[in-house]
Structure 1
Amino acid sequence: MASPDSSQGGQSRHHQCLRLLMWQVAALAFLLALTATTGDMSFPPVSDRSANSTKKSLVANIHGDIILGGLFPVHDKGEKMCGSINLDRGIERLEAMLYTIDEINDDPELLPGIKLGASVLDTCGRAPYALEQSLEFIRASFTSLDPTEFVCRDGSEAKAKSTPTTVVGVVGGSYSTVSIQVANLLRLFKIPQISYASTSASLSDKQRYDYFIRTVPPDTLQAKALVDIVQEFNWTYVSIVHSEGEYGESGIDFFKHEAKAKNICIAASKEISLRATNATYDEVIKELQDKPEARVVIVFVRSEDATGLLNAAARKNLTGKFVWIASDGWGNRLAPVKNNPLVAQGAITLELQSTPILGFEKYFLDLNPRSNHRNPWFVEYWEEEHKCSWNRVRPPTSAEDWRPFRACKGNERINRRITSQENKVQFIYDAVYAFAHALHDMQEELCPGTDRLCPAMANIDGETLLRNYLLNVSFDDERSGACGEPQDSNEVIDLTDLVYNLHRKRRTAIKKQNKDRSNSSTILSYRQFLVLLSSASLQQNDLRLSGPSSDEDAGGKPRTHDRKVPAGLREDSLSTVPPTPHMFVYKNR
């Protein structure tokens, strides 16, 4: 006869197997449902995903008592799945999350006795691949075993060879198409998700995305800003181009709605598919040329589509033909314009207002492959950044403009393409701190009088974390006392902040510490920008910026962890109010 203990152990193992089977069935049903709705769920063989087939198995780790998941576009999209390293947005955003966790763990007042950890994965900017990666977060929740349920023959407790990474929440994704599919999965398993960059208005639907929140406002604000800019120039006939997917489609739909109300007519309207080729971009440019009266083009696209569009315009020698007015998909990024500065001349692009994180700049610029072992993609980033090879003999293959093959010395330095931090660093910082303060509040309530992870927090329920703690977190913000999503504004004058120019060889912005300003770009507040408009210093035919600089308008104080951000949390947004758009005017001298 089996002993009661062995019977209970058998039942426990049966429950484990049954739970795992239920998870597999649920995951399969979810994938099949997405296949039916998106038609984009076919995964190539692992060996076909990129030149480096091991990319899918890599993870950036910080060991801890409580783990946050992270999703970042470390690599760009490739022809098959993952492409080359994302120099503009991938590594810096990932390192921002790791830096913030380090800062939290160094704070004795926040989560005392508990070490916060991270498990960060690469999405390659593709929703299907991001979804597959996110299954790792789910799988860990259902494959973790309680060692007390198993006893060895000698009476000792069994020990697992490895412990799966169970996450209590996820920071990410970046693209709205990625966040939407990941949110559909995570909500099934009650895992809260905070995005630092996904701005699609569709994600405001709390019936569908009840476990999704974000530290950035929806695209409606950008769409209003684009319409306001068009109005300020008295343009009434424009063409529009948008990317396929939630980001481009929802943003441009709202622009059309606002434009119609302001009597702005649409000449040509083109969508760039997710599988766009050079021929696709050439066709878009051709259709824009077919409407010669509409020189102004509203561009609501992802960064890679902005690059493709400008490349196509350059192939047609269309310098000065179009005035590009673009959303933050292009924003202040160098990639779209670095090979086409003349075609980009005069473009106006938007970015969300952000504040530098004090300490992160030095941290990031001091990183080196010799010491940065927790980021498995950093060597690849270093090689691409410095056009060299690190501890391996191979010719350069990932970029056409590599210098003759050479070995990395290790004393190279990361070179800033622009003077400020990557725009979304602040919002990643906000997202991680939101989780940390929610967990801190949970610790104070469930583990009173202790400075450690008590048994009551051993298995954190996602719904409890979200409803009882995360959505109740509030911070003080020195910019504004308001909280929640940005309020609608129909006045362009309310879209405060910066304007700067693009130089032919380098793009810079005036900072307070700059002593030599003779070769710097001019920064103006948005109010000064409007003064220039009214005084005809800035004409719609060339959009060249002139006028005095203003140090006082160059941004607020750098953020530190003492500056409790964001200003308040609501289900739809964790954003401070309002993260208003910057304006960037591109110009060659």
Structure 2
Amino acid sequence: RQFCGNGYTSVCASFAAANRGQILLDEIKKVSFTVEDTNPDLRFAFDGNSAALPFRVNLYEYANLPQQRNEFTKIGNINPWTETVGVTDADIPLSGTSPTCAEPCLACLYKFNYLDYSYVPGDLVIGAIFDVHYKGSGPYSCGELRGKDGAMYTEVFNFALQQINSGNTNVRLNGVTLGGLSFDGCSNPPRAAAIINRVHTGMEIKATGGSMERFSIKDLVSWLTYDSETTVNVASLVKNLDMTVVSPSATSVKLDDKQEFSTFFRTIPSDSVVVRGMAKFVQEMGWKFVITANAPDSASRESRDYFRELLAGYGICVVAAYEFETDGSMETVWRGIEDGDTQVVAVFADPERYAEDFLEAKMNSDNYIFVANRPWGGVDPRYYDKIVDSVSFALRSPTIAQFVTYLRTITPAASNNPWFSALYENLLACDLPGSFTDNPACTGSPIQSWRQDLRTLPTINAVYALAQAIHLTLVEKCGSNYNGLCSAFLNDNNVQSSIRANMDRLNFLDISAQMFEFFDREANRGFELLKYSSSGSAQLKGTLDRSGALTLSDKPGLERDYQGVKSQCLRACDECATNNANMLDFSMITGDFYIVGLFDVHKNGSDPFSCGDINDKHGLPLLEAFNFAIEYINNDQGMFSDNNKLPGIRLGGIALDTCQSPTRAANLVANIQSGNLVLTKDGNTVQPQRIEAYVGPMDTESTLRVADVLNQLAIPQISYGAKGVELLDMDKYKYFLRSVPADDKQARAVISFLKKFEYNNIQLVTSFDEIGEPGREEFKNLALVNKICVKIEYVAGERGDMAGDAKRIVQELAKEGTAKVVILWMKDPLPLLLEANVNPSVNNGFMFIATDKWGANPEILTNPGLQNLLTNRELVILDVETADIPKFDEYLEPKTPDNYIRNPWFKEFHEHFKQCVWGDATVPGACDKASTIPRAENYVQDPYVLYVINAVFSVAEGIDRALKDLCTVDNVYQRGACNRYVTSGERRQKVMSGIKQVNFTDDTHQPFFYLENGQSDRGFHIYNVTGVDGSPNSFQYQNV
């Protein structure tokens, strides 16, 4: 009816529209009807992509009489969608059965011990999981009190609430009080998750301090968490409840992924910022060899691994890595360190937990330099002489005078905080009545002096930021003159998302008189670089901004201080050899926001970081297709001629050479995003925050390595060439798409070909790499389903000897008399085909079917080592479905090394491609300056040009959709990049969402869109090799 009208009598022409499938799917999802023969009536409908039908509850009834039979009888329904249970206790005769645990169960220990809580009532309540104690020996139990950076945060939290409710801050609520519900998670993630589950499933909670007011879950607006691993668990858990989580302490790099943790904020920067500063400091000091030591927790391991990755980009070697506890005692760790040749040790650990034990075990007086990711200023004075000249990074954390005044009014006797007495005894080393630790008796008077904990200001800012966002949401829902909670705030289903949107754009002057705001949902703050003296005092030696840029105040002075420090490796350190030459050559098109393209302009070099000769296949022409697409968009051509597409926005492009090296590709991306490699050309510098997406690389292995980096950073990536099936894992690679079809589709194409010609008995040869291994499994699974017999299979290159394996495998192929169709699922099938060509038992009568890794490569047709196979027409080749883009050739036509300088490799490619020397026309072999690349006899447009262009167009469409989403206010779209778009923590998630929704007609006049598994809708061509009429020994590809 939608396409052909309500009175349609047949299929009309409009029904062939490209979007027919999507509209049909939308209509199917709207379907609702009564299921036949149901009593009472049962309605069928969809909830998302699933049927919203209830579950039937059956009771098993045992027959008491011989003529009866045992059977299940329906006793009711449970409907998860309407949250109704149509079963009563009377329906299930349980005979007094009840769930019990005769003794305190270890798994439930959190219910019996250490589940004290503090509840300060309010109209709205912030829940908080503190780490008052360390983790205990049991799965849910608690250990010793955290006297530093732990228990005191419960009082900081109470102080912040009091400040807001009393109106003593510029962040305030009108007629609304903010309450707090505090628990002790004991640095124990399972315990914290169990507590949150109890709260959300109806735990009975009443106010502390004598009030009988009870907590209601409907008042809860957010959770506060501290420990990194706990925060990861909690953020994953309450995301499903659309509940906001804010952390003043969780610095885990894993939490950088704001799509996976879509309701998460933190009032400190990520550890990835500090790690970039540590790596940059090591590089600035000229140290080439480093040791690492880390705490045995996931956050410290993530930081260590990221540090190592960054150092690789600088050509710096981690000669040894140690983990506290895991690698034995601290003495054992130190013996390993002292056996080495370097005195530079990078430490990833919270100082209050491991630093002092680490320093205590330091046995000799050698001047080791520690580069730490946490401030060490609070260590015991006994260890000051062991940290001389060491450095650490710290947020600027001035003493909060108001909190000092507040704490000096609290006594153990008057406090309603269940943990304050233990904290008081810990700080003053005394015993309150009822404690017996042989310490002197406490006076009971308020605490007068203590060291302010590291996360005091971030904790206050977490509460203030939530309060400010709640205030802005109340204004939206209840009006600017609101006084209390209105019905819209209490009942609208988008209140949580509104709070997060307001947190994205808020800013306020915090209690230390610093401006606070979020950038990408993290505090927009930098760090101070501190260097320690023998007195334990810290001297400011530099600053580190949020982008990871390190500024040293006196680099020459630091170099003098460290001139005697050993950073060497006198043993075999070959595994750390790197070469960063030419890492920063790139082409640039300036813009407001950037797409980065990754291309193999050169072949790989002698090591993972160097480059070799010009790459003949899928190299520079694809880079130019990238530049063509950027210019096409900026010139408002074709589908971008609509003034509503990217209005007021100029799209920028950076194209890099990855030189067929997965290591180089991953390091380039990691170092660009960390700020360690600065993209500057002609006075223009590209900030990492302005990079919206990456396009590339070409091959699967490089793409996997790059995806591992970008997925952590929540940055979209579209490959124009990687077809490996591993990348189909959309849970692992949430930010990955590809404009090409994947190998699962190629496997189906090969199967279809075999079935059409009834080739049901075949042999299979695969390579031992990221192409052959997963490809083999995919093909075999499909062959089994389609009743195609894989009689024999071979793996080439498993021992690293591809040439030897090729000869052996061809000899084995020849022995098989019935299965003469051979599938080659290989990264490079040429060695095997060269062997087959000279084997008379194979080169006539066998058919070889090669995948797109060979592709319709014209060089194969002229290879003298394949003449027998070509002549006998024993080759079938698959390649991606494609077509030439005439506009691209027109773009490339006028470019010469003289007039085209944007591409730093264009002259080198031109000379290689045309086998000439550009410049003086009188020299032998001089290039004909009138002959451009598209006019050359051997020029064939690369089949992947289309896929590069479609990838770039997809990103542009995604950016356009994200801009319209974030920059539309009161149904009016603000042209250009609005502040909300620039600062939004969800910007790249929205770009990714927009890319997934693209559906356009590309330059081949075919619809282009992405399937649910992240690959494009395109397929494969199948080619046969045929002779050229009238030209003996000349061959061509025929599309069959």
TM-score by length of structure 1 reads: 0.68
Correspondence for 2:869: 343
**CA RMSD for the aligned pairs?**
3.8
Correspondence for 1:408: 927
| 1:277 shift after superposition | 5.3
| 1:217 shift after superposition | 2.4
- Of structures 1 and 2, the one with the larger relative CO (CA 8 A, separation 6+) is 1
Output the CA distance in 1 between the equivalents of 2:279 and 2:838.
51
- Say which of 996, 1000, 1008 aligns to 1:566: 1008
Aligned partner of residue 434 in structure 1, secondary structure: helix
Output the CA distance in 1 between the equivalents of 2:672 and 2:710.
9
Correspondence for 1:120: 655
Correspondence for 1:133: 668
Aligned partner of residue 332 in structure 1, secondary structure: coil
Output the CA distance in 1 between the equivalents of 2:734 and 2:618.
27
Alignment of 1:373-452 (within 5 A): 373-391=901-919, 406-414=925-933, 421-448=941-968, 449-452=973-976
Q: Are 1:370 and 2:898 an aligned pair?
A: yes
Correspondence for 1:515: none
Output the CA distance in 2 between the equivalents of 1:332 and 1:125.
20
| 1:474 shift after superposition | 2.9
Distance 1:276 1:444, change over 3 A: farther
Distance 1:20 1:242, change over 3 A: same
Correspondence for 1:65: 592
* Structure with the bigger percentage of strand: 2
Correspondence for 1:170: 694
Q: Are 1:29 and 2:305 an aligned pair?
A: yes
- Say which of 299, 311, 315 aligns to 2:834: 311
Q: CA offsets per residue over residues 531-566 of structure 1, 9 Å max, x none?
A: xxxxxxxxxxxxxxxxxxxxxxxxxxx537xx8x52
Output the CA distance in 1 between the equivalents of 2:810 and 2:308.
37
2:953 partner amino acid: Y
Correspondence for 1:86: 615
Aligned partner of residue 458 in structure 1, secondary structure: helix
Contact 1:177–1:246 (CA under 8 A) maintained in structure 2 = yes
1:352 partner amino acid: V
Correspondence for 1:588: 1027
Contact 1:241–1:272 (CA under 8 A) maintained in structure 2 = no
Contact 1:88–1:335 (CA under 8 A) maintained in structure 2 = no
Q: CA offsets per residue over residues 45-80 of structure 1, 9 Å max, x none?
A: 428xxxxx53x3321221111111111122234554
- Say which of 725, 733, 751 aligns to 1:209: 733
Aligned partner of residue 766 in structure 2, secondary structure: strand
Distance 1:285 1:296, change over 3 A: same
Contact 1:168–1:460 (CA under 8 A) maintained in structure 2 = no
Output the CA distance in 2 between the equivalents of 1:90 and 1:295.
35
| 1:258 shift after superposition | 1.8
Distance 1:76 1:255, change over 3 A: same
Aligned partner of residue 194 in structure 1, secondary structure: strand
Output the CA distance in 1 between the equivalents of 2:939 and 2:924.
29
Structure 2 gap ranges (5+): 1-266, 281-299, 313-573, 1029-1040
Contact 1:328–1:349 (CA under 8 A) maintained in structure 2 = yes
Aligned partner of residue 628 in structure 2, secondary structure: helix
Q: CA offsets per residue over residues 497-534 of structure 1, 9 Å max, x none?
A: xxxxxxxxxxxxxxxxxxxxxxxxxxxxxxxxxxxxxx
Contact 1:447–1:454 (CA under 8 A) maintained in structure 2 = yes
Alignment of 1:255-270 (within 5 A): 255-261=779-785, 262-270=787-795
Alignment of 1:382-531 (within 5 A): 382-391=910-919, 406-414=925-933, 421-448=941-968, 449-459=973-983, 461=985, 464-466=988-990, 469-471=993-995, 473-477=997-1001
Output the CA distance in 2 between the equivalents of 1:45 and 1:16.
23
Correspondence for 2:631: 102
Q: CA offsets per residue over residues 395-444 of structure 1, 9 Å max, x none?
A: xxxxxxxxx96232422332567886322222211111111111112223
Structure 1 gap ranges (5+): 1-10, 36-40, 48-52, 146-159, 394-403, 479-557
Output the CA distance in 1 between the equivalents of 2:939 and 2:908.
23
| 1:43 shift after superposition | 6.6
Correspondence for 1:193: 717
Correspondence for 1:535: none
Distance 1:284 1:31, change over 3 A: farther
Contact 1:323–1:346 (CA under 8 A) maintained in structure 2 = yes
Output the CA distance in 2 between the equivalents of 1:227 and 1:467.
36
Contact 1:71–1:123 (CA under 8 A) maintained in structure 2 = yes
Output the CA distance in 2 between the equivalents of 1:462 and 1:98.
27
| 1:326 shift after superposition | 1.3
Contact 1:370–1:410 (CA under 8 A) maintained in structure 2 = no
Correspondence for 2:462: none
- Say which of 857, 882, 899 aligns to 1:333: 857
Contact 1:223–1:252 (CA under 8 A) maintained in structure 2 = no
Alignment of 1:258-297 (within 5 A): 258-261=782-785, 262-272=787-797, 278-291=803-816, 293-297=818-822
Output the CA distance in 1 between the equivalents of 2:306 and 2:994.
26
Output the CA distance in 2 between the equivalents of 1:77 and 1:467.
33
2:626 partner amino acid: M
Distance 1:94 1:584, change over 3 A: same
Contact 2:579–2:607 (CA under 8 A) maintained in structure 1 = no
Contact 2:720–2:739 (CA under 8 A) maintained in structure 1 = yes
Correspondence for 2:98: none
| 1:119 shift after superposition | 1.3
Output the CA distance in 1 between the equivalents of 2:800 and 2:669.
23
Correspondence for 2:142: none
Output the CA distance in 2 between the equivalents of 1:280 and 1:58.
38
Contact 1:126–1:178 (CA under 8 A) maintained in structure 2 = yes
Correspondence for 1:46: 579
Contact 1:72–1:172 (CA under 8 A) maintained in structure 2 = yes
Mean Cα displacement is larger for which, 190-199 or 135-144? Answer: 135-144
Contact 1:213–1:571 (CA under 8 A) maintained in structure 2 = no
Q: CA offsets per residue over residues 101-142 of structure 1, 9 Å max, x none?
A: 000000162312211111111222222222122223312399
- Say which of 230, 244, 249 aligns to 2:754: 230
Distance 1:463 1:29, change over 3 A: farther
| 1:212 shift after superposition | 0.7
Output the CA distance in 1 between the equivalents of 2:710 and 2:975.
30
Output the CA distance in 2 between the equivalents of 1:442 and 1:312.
54
Aligned partner of residue 103 in structure 1, secondary structure: helix
1:379 partner amino acid: K
Q: CA offsets per residue over residues 6-27 of structure 1, 9 Å max, x none?
A: xxxxx99999973733788857
TM-score by length of structure 2 reads: 0.40
Correspondence for 1:518: none
Output the CA distance in 2 between the equivalents of 1:12 and 1:172.
32
Distance 1:33 1:236, change over 3 A: farther
Aligned partner of residue 350 in structure 1, secondary structure: strand
Contact 1:211–1:466 (CA under 8 A) maintained in structure 2 = no
